[in-house]
């Protein structure tokens, strides 16, 4: 039996989700996506994601893939489409219709009225890819932003952390510099058995956006559980004056959970994007990532 591998690019507001990963009895992003796929294809499927996000974490651009049997594809793709690309475009419309329908029904049961088509998860694109593509292991990097407001806006309360005290941007960037590069980030991760906490941190800096929001830009090859929020948590202590500039480096050097950095709240974090190599490099990148991370904890930022 042959299968088609379908790549899905999507985004979501994590406020009402208990994270990406499917959990019995809980509403998750993976659960919603797989329910929509199963409804359309009449076949149970399992998605593989670039980076699992925790409860409350958002994604402006997330990537997952799913393998579909010939029978599932025939039921999912509209008849008469001239190419796989045309079929994939129609699949996006169909999945979004199912997702918004489920969201509308849920909202009505909670006494809330929503406009047709509204949903907190949206498929942006779909395309058939070679089986060598792996949404998780073929990825080169993940890019996150953690937003903090020291001049709170009530209309932006769901995707940024409010703080009362002014923050010292320069002090936080000075404190972040020693963390760049490849290190053992045990002091910034919640490790899992058999998993490595070694990561290559490429970007960690605080910048002011046009509206005055403080945005922490964070990029690495991959992240372990709660790593981004722990990095931000340590820098916020420096920015507020509660810790000296060398505090984040000391946490890194200690390589101990006993002196681990605090974890910033989830709702300020957004996955901004996932980067991949050219198609001819998908397989090699996936093999490299699997060999290095082995049974790694995944990418739970």
Q: Tell me: the pLDDT tens digits for 119-157?
A: 999 999 999 999 999 999 999 999 999 999 988 788 888
Contact 156, 123 (CB under 8 A): no
What's the CATH class of domain 141-293? alpha beta
Contact 4, 68 (CB under 8 A): yes
The residue behind tokens 């996955």 is 271
pLDDT of 1 > 80? The answer is no
**Residue 85 annotated among the catalytic residues of the structure:** no
Q: Where is pLDDT greater, at 142 or 105?
A: 142
pLDDT of residue 297: 42
Least confident of 84-93, 203-212, 259-268: 84-93
What's the CATH class of domain 3-129? alpha beta
State the Cα–Cα distance between residues 110 and 191, nearest whole angstrom: 37
Contact 137, 50 (CB under 8 A): no
Q: Which among 9, 13, 54, 159 is annotated as catalytic?
A: 54
Domain boundaries, the chain: 3-129, 141-293
On whether the pTM is more than 0.95, the answer is no
pLDDT of residue 269: 98
pLDDT of residue 295: 44
State the Cα–Cα distance between residues 253 and 79, nearest whole angstrom: 59
**Partner residues linked to 172 by β-bridges:** none
pLDDT in tens, 174-228: 999 999 999 999 999 988 777 789 999 999 999 999 988 999 999 999 999 999 9
Average pLDDT for 48-59: 97
Contact 145, 204 (CB under 8 A): no
Report residue 147 as tokens. 């937003």
Chain mean pLDDT for the chain: 92
3-129 and 141-293: identical CATH topology: yes
Contact 52, 298 (CB under 8 A): yes
Residue 287: pLDDT band by 50, 70, 90 thresholds?
very high
Close Cβ partners of 166 (under 8 Å, ≥ 6 residues apart): 150
Supply the DSSP string of the chain, one letter for each residue.
--EEEEEEEEEE-GGG-S-SS--TTS--HHHHHHHHHHHHHSS---EEESS---TT-EEEEEEEEEEEEHHHHHHHSPTT-SSHHHHHHHHHHHHHHHHHHHHHHHHHHTT----TT--SEEEEEEEEE-TT--TTTT--EEEEEEEEESS--GGG-SSSEE-SS---HHHHHHHHGGG-EEEE-GGG----TT---EEEEEEEEEEE-TTS-EEEEEEES---TTHHHHHHHHHHHHHTTSS-TTHHHHHHHH--STTPPPPPPGGGEEEEEEE---GGGHHHHHHHHHHHHTT------
State the Cα–Cα distance between residues 290 and 301, nearest whole angstrom: 19
Contact 134, 48 (CB under 8 A): yes
pLDDT of 298 > 60? The answer is no
Contact 196, 225 (CB under 8 A): no
Q: Where is pLDDT greater, at 112 or 230?
A: 230
Buried (b) or exposed (e) across 150-170, using 16+ Cβ within 10 A?
beeeeeeeebbbebeeebbee
Close Cβ partners of 74 (under 8 Å, ≥ 6 residues apart): none
Close Cβ partners of 155 (under 8 Å, ≥ 6 residues apart): none
pLDDT of residue 290: 87
Close Cβ partners of 161 (under 8 Å, ≥ 6 residues apart): 146, 147, 148, 149, 264, 265, 267, 268
């Amino acid at each position: 039996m042959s299968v088609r591998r379908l790549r899905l690019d999507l985004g979501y507001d994590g406020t009402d989700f208990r994270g990406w990963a499917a959990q019995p009895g809980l509403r998750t992003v993976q659960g919603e996506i797989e329910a929509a796929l199963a409804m359309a294809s009449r076949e149970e499927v399992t998605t593989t994601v670039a980076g699992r996000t925790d409860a409350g974490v958002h994604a402006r651009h997330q990537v997952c893939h799913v393998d579909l049997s010939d029978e599932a594809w025939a039921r999912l793709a509209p008849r008469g489409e001239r190419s796989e690309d045309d079929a994939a475009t129609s699949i996006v419309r169909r999945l979004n219709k199912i997702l918004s329908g489920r969201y509308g029904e849920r909202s009505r049961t909670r006494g809330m009225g929503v406009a047709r088509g509204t949903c907190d998860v949206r498929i942006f694109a779909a395309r058939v890819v070679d089986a060598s593509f792996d949404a998780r292991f073929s990825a080169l990097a993940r890019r996150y932003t953690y937003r903090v407001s020291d001049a709170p806006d009530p209309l932006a309360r769901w995707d940024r952390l409010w703080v009362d005290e002014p923050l010292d941007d320069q002090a936080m960037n000075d404190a972040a510099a020693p963390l760049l590069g490849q290190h053992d980030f045990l002091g910034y991760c919640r490790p899992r058995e058999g998993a490595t906490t070694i990561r290559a941190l490429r970007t960690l800096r605080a910048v002011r956006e046009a509206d005055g929001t403080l945005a922490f830009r964070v990029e690495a090859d991959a992240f372990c559980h709660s790593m981004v929020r722990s990095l931000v948590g340590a820098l916020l202590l420096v920015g507020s004056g509660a810790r000296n500039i060398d505090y984040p480096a000391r946490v890194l050097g200690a390589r101990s959970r006993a002196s681990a950095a605090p974890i910033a709240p989830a709702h300020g974090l957004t996955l901004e994007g996932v980067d991949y190599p050219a198609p001819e490099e998908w397989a090699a990148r996936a093999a490299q990532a699997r060999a290095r991370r082995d049974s790694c904890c995944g990418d739970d930022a």
